[in-house]
Amino acid sequence: MTKALIAKLSQFARLSSEDRDAIVGLETVHCKTARAHTPLISEGDKPIHVRLVLSGWACRHKDLANGRRQIVAFFLPGDFCDLNVYLLRSMDHTISAVTDVKYLQLSAGMLGKLTEERPRVAQALMWSELVSASIQREWLVSLGQRTAMERVGHLIVELYTRLKSVGLAADCRMAFPVTQSELAEVTGVTPVHLNRTLQELRRQKLIELESRQLTILDLDRLRDLAMFELGYLHLDREGRHLDAND
């Protein structure tokens, strides 16, 4: 169940078998479930646990007074929802399930123990937080500077890359369980315009999307169109000098 997390962290540095065991050890916690479109934790709640997504997609979103909503992050299997949130008194946003989601609710103490005993894992977790922050920045660039087509294209390439890095996508194919309304809430356009944007991507033979399954037909062209630069995901085993030897 924690396979995705191990795969993800291994993008940073090779883990020892003890490291991996320590991560698998987190599964002693009772695994929780949330149905699609229900909140895991809501704005205003006191954050106590750290969440680790095991399967399914979740998202982080903020809701405005005028009823509009912005999705500010996706959580895929292997992603933590904020490693240190428990320091805050109340959530400034909501985390909701996109699909049915399985996740672990870990206590600060449990995570503290893991990071104390396994410094390499601690480093890898810090790296994954840095990557999350980098993704947030790239999303800011999308919303500030890219057109609707570019935003959608960029998001698709990013999600494909992230899913591939945890073994959940290959050959330009991936599950894509997001509704068009949700995609609109990520990319900051209206659902109507998002629909037209998807149609244009299909018309240009860049993607295929049906029954929640997405195929990238021409990854290179899509990357170029979206001005996608891989670097911000920091997937190049940047902590390799910390590799375990066993």
Q: Of 52, 71, 95, 189, which lies in the binding site for DNA, with binding defined by CB under 7 A?
A: 189
Smallest CA-to-CA distance from 181 within 193, 168, 170 is with 193
Is residue 133 close enough to count as binding a copy of itself by CB under 8 A? yes
Stretch 166-195: interaction string toward a copy of itself, x if CB under 8 A: -------------------x-xx-------
Buried b vs exposed e over 134-157: b needs ≥16 C-beta within 10 Å? Answer: ebeebbeebeeebebbbbbbbbbb
Burial class (CB in 10 A: 0-12, 13-18, 19+), 226: buried
Smallest CA-to-CA distance from 128 within 91, 78, 87 is with 78
CB of 49: closest distance to DNA in angstroms?
27
Q: Of 38, 42, 90, 213, which lies in the binding site for a copy of itself, with binding defined by CB under 8 A?
A: 90
Stretch that binds DNA, among 55-63, 115-123, 146-154, 220-228 (CB under 7 A): 146-154
Stretch that binds DNA, among 46-54, 56-64, 163-171, 197-205 (CB under 7 A): 197-205
| Angstrom distance (rounded) from CA 65 to CA 70 | 12
Q: What are phi and psi of 55, to 5 degrees?
A: -150, 155
CB of 59: closest distance to a copy of itself in angstroms?
12
Is residue 82 close enough to count as binding a copy of itself by CB under 8 A? yes
Is residue 70 close enough to count as binding DNA by CB under 7 A? no
| Angstrom distance (rounded) from CA 93 to CA 44 | 8
Q: Which residues bind DNA (CB under 7 A)?
A: 37, 147-149, 179-181, 188-193, 195-199, 211
